[in-house]
Structure formats: C-alpha cells, structure tokens
Amino acid sequence: MSDEPERTPKSAKPTRRLDARSLRGLAHPLRMNIFELLSLDGPATATGLAARLGENTGTISWHLRHLAEHGFIVEETGRGTKRERWWKRADVSNELNTADFRDDPDTRGALSVYLHELVQQYFSRVVTYIGEDWDDSWRNAGTISDRSDLRMTPKQLEALNAELMAVIARHTPAPDAEPAPDALPVVVQLQSFPRKKRDSA
C-alpha cells in the first residue's frame, strides 16, 4: 500500500521516500496538522498557526523546529524578523510506502499514528466542505461518492489506482501556469482498499 497525499504529478519537485526517522518526525497529531496547514494554505508564523490550532506559540514553535529538522518545512528567507519567523512547506513531494514499516516493531506505532491522523484529516476536510456555504456551480461540481460493487485482484486494484492517478496528473497544471480568475484550490482525495467479507449470520 502506498500513501502519497502530497504528490504533484506535473511538478519538477524532487520526491523523497520517507524512512523510519522521517516517519517518526512527522507522525504526531499536532505536527501533522501544522504540516497540513502549511501545505494547503501556504507560509505562516508560529503565532498565526497557534491561533488557528488553539495552541500556545511556544508549543507550535517547538513542533515547527522538529518538522524543519526532518526536512518537511523550511524557513521562508527574506520575510519576518528574528522573533517572528515565517515557515513554509519544503519544495519536495513525500512518498510513504507502508510496506516498508509493517514488519518493523520500532516504527509500527509511528505508522499507526500517521495513518490514523491522515484519515482523520481526509474526513475533516469533507466535513468542512459539506458544512460550508457554496454557490450552485461549485456545489454541483464537487462530488462525494463511493462504489462498493467491484471485485478485483490486487493487480487489478493497482492498475485502477494507476489510471486514476494518471487522470489527476493530466488535470494538474504546471507550477508556473497562471490559474483562471475563478479558480480555487481543489482537493482530490482517493481511497481504494479491499474489504474482508463478513458473515451475514
């Protein structure tokens, strides 16, 4: 199973495969929330993040330094002061292959935290979307759906995911492309997984 929530297919960003050390550096609920905000909304200060997350600035600053130490974020140079630093997501795509860690008892806990928080983030994004007021053009364009009538082998499921990612890649603009005046950021969440058959009795 591969979890790639941060991949930008058409970008020239380098890709790094998370190892045990970097996974442990990210696998914390607050650090993952900080990283998500910097990824989705751009650079921010510890003060701004603390206000959004309901935490004190000192705690946020500590976690920001931790994320920076593991290469997930970098300081935005030429902005801010010595007392108020701006942080941004590092210009790299992160790739996690859960198979790298499933048999490692030292990282199994970190992997569990990471996956739990990742799914919670996906859920929270959808809840936020359906609770917001959107005009009909955006409401009709979005979708929340599922299909549960498929029967596949592992190779067929892998092929399906590859095709879906290729479609997303075709619709991903180049980093230097100018967005249309009415364009907004769009989140595409893709979850596909097998389900063990349950007895009806």
pLDDT at position 198: 83
Mean pLDDT (whole number) for 156-169: 95
Domain ranges for the chain = 2-135+143-170
**Fold designation for 2-135+143-170:** Arc Repressor Mutant, subunit A (1.10.10)
Q: How confident is the prediction for the chain on average, in pLDDT?
A: 90
Sign of CA dihedral 66, 72, 78, 79: negative
Counting Cα atoms < 13 Å in the Cβ hemisphere of 18 gives 29
In the prediction, which pLDDT does 175 show?
A: 81
Q: What percent of the chain has pLDDT over 90?
A: 76
Q: What is the pLDDT of residues 70-82, one digit of tens each?
A: 999 999 988 877 7
pLDDT in tens, 105-144: 889 899 999 999 999 999 999 999 999 999 999 999 999 9
pLDDT for the residue 11: 47
